[in-house]
Amino acid sequence: MSVYNEIKAGAKKLTTRDLRSWKKGPTRRSLSALTCYDFQTAQLLNETELDMILVGDSLGNVILGYDHTISVELHEMEIFGKAVRRGAPGKFLIMDMPFGTYATFTQGVENCLHLFQKTGAEGLKLEGAFPHVLEIISRLTNSGVPVMGHIGLIPQSVHGLGGLYQHGKDEVSRERLVREAKSLEQAGVFSIVLECIEKTVAAEITQSVTVPTIGIGAGVDVDGQILVINDLLKMGPNRPPKFCHPIADFYSLKKEAITRYLETFNLPSNPTKKYELGNHIHS
């Protein structure tokens, strides 16, 4: 049985070893990844054929209501990571390292080891290919901690970048991205997220490295796709980013359901109905 079939049958959790042989092996296909932040959604994903779960620091936006991922703290990642781990023991789980927790080498390595150990994740994701990040990644990967890289639009650097926009649109940016991907590969990452990168540049990066690339708003010529689950299922009132086409509208569904429920409280001419509803709830 091929690795792919074993994974499809749910018999085997994806490993970094599978991923290392992914691109050149006969089992190559598009990798599927979604973010997840809570126990029950993790339980659901655990029953599907999804390849990987990322507890992204996007939880700052979609769960905690912060303006930026910059506000997310290490202990918050730990709480959500543990919940997702409990719900999805059978999935390859990656934890995002939040802003400011890997700004220096010693503190970065310590915080990474802490989150890795406490959550029981299979890997960590760090944003950017800055020199100190590459050093931390090297140390981690040499200590047996799998690391996923992340280049292009790196939301933790929103202020440094001057906003959230597509990368790779000019030659300087293209060359820099290819260089960054190669340096991450050299530092030992097992895969690289390419976020909001012009699609031909994402394709070039994918060809230039031996580790799988996972795109988000980076076209189809990458090795896999990742999306924020709240965007994919439209869990919130806001329009998801342009590159994400929701497959459901849970916000409207839930709003309609709650509205219908609340209508039953507002029946002055029919107090019995209200009583029955209360009865039903407590029975």
- Which stretch, 53-61, 160-168, 236-244, 253-261, contacts ligand KIV (CB under 6 A)? 53-61
In the complex, what is the shortest distance from the CB of residue 243 to ligand KIV, in angstroms, rounded to a whole number? 11
**193 is a site residue for ligand KIV (CB under 6 A):** yes
195 in active site: yes
**36 is a site residue for ligand KIV (CB under 6 A):** no
Among 18, 51, 96, 231, binds ligand KIV (CB under 6 A): 96
169: CB partners within 8 A, 6+ apart: 198
In the complex, what is the shortest distance from the CB of residue 244 to ligand KIV, in angstroms, rounded to a whole number? 10
**228 is a site residue for ligand KIV (CB under 6 A):** yes
**58 is a site residue for ligand KIV (CB under 6 A):** yes
Contact positions with ligand KIV (CB under 6 A) in 201-220: 216
**51 is a site residue for ligand KIV (CB under 6 A):** no
**Cβ-based nearer residue to ligand KIV, 3 or 124:** 124
**42 is a site residue for ligand KIV (CB under 6 A):** no
Which positions lie near ligand KIV, rule CB under 6 A?
35, 54, 56-58, 96, 193, 195, 216, 226, 228
Catalytic site residues?
195
